[in-house]
Amino acid sequence: MTTDTPAPSFTDPAAEERLQRAAAALTDHGFVVEIVDDAAAARARVQQIIPEGAAVFTGASETLRLSGIDDDLNTSGRYDSVKARGWTMDRATQRNEIWTALSVPDFIVGSVAAVTETGSLVAGSASGSQLPGYAGAAARAIWVVGAQKIVPDLPTALRRVEEHCLPLENERTHQVYGQPAALNRVLIMNAETEPGRGTVLLLREAIGF
């Protein structure tokens, strides 16, 4: 007879009580938190928060792609897309200018790999391009997070990054770029110290990795 605790599901949406628990903990840690029903509601809310003409950088995110938020911010013409601007710059001669633009936009928008019920956000990255903005350089940050990313604690969050997200991202990068994914950098955000800077939109449905 075994008494091992079952491994948490990394794909099933968290129950409402767990969403509320994570939201309360994040709020206690200085994040602005809104629970929304689905991706359409999150997409509309992002457009309400970000004024037209703002400089916006989007971190690579299946959540943003699937929800349509990535297209809204980068191809609609309503915003100053830092990503689109960066592609026109020379990476050999304008490296510092590119990294400055990526790091300090008016808004950075993305997702994270896990949200803990104790109030932390965990993001993984290959290049690290979104991490300075996430960590505090961007004037405002918005994270759109599916309900399946809620986990009990930080050790489970790191397991989710390595055991669940990385293999799925590896499949995606092989299909899109013909090369493997890399988990070169991991950012843990335990609190937001600047009031109103970081907004977390928690969805009641699963989306993304």
| Residue 1 belongs to some domain of the structure | no
| Residue 208 belongs to some domain of the structure | no
| Residue 69 belongs to some domain of the structure | yes
**107-123 per-position pLDDT tens digit:** 999 999 999 999 999 99
| Residue 21 belongs to some domain of the structure | yes
The count of structural domains within the chain is: 1
Cα dist. 203→18, 94, 151, 179, 191 in Å?
12, 38, 14, 31, 20
**93-102 per-position pLDDT tens digit:** 999 998 999 9
Identify the pLDDT of residue 7: 59
Identify the pLDDT of residue 3: 43
Give the span between the Cα atoms of 92 and 107, in whole angstroms: 26
| Residue 175 belongs to some domain of the structure | no
Q: Which domain covers residue 136, as residue numbers?
A: 16-113+130-148+191-203
Residues 181-199 as b or e (16 or more Cβ within 10 Å = b)? beeeebbebeebeeeeebb
| Residue 168 belongs to some domain of the structure | no
Give the span between the Cα atoms of 28 and 91, in whole angstroms: 40
Give the span between the Cα atoms of 150 and 132, in whole angstroms: 23
pTM for the model stands at 0.94
Q: Tokens standing for 199?
A: 């907004």
* CATH number, domain with residue 103: 3.40.50
Q: Order of strands across the sheet with 121-125?
A: 150-151, 114-116, 121-125, 185-189
| Residue 51 belongs to some domain of the structure | yes
Question: How many CA atoms within 13 Å lie on the side-chain side of 31?
Answer: 30
| Residue 66 belongs to some domain of the structure | yes
**38-96 per-position pLDDT tens digit:** 999 999 999 999 999 999 999 999 999 999 999 999 999 999 999 989 888 888 899 99
Phi/psi of residue 85, nearest 5 degrees: -65, -40
**184-209 per-position pLDDT tens digit:** 999 999 999 999 999 999 999 999 99
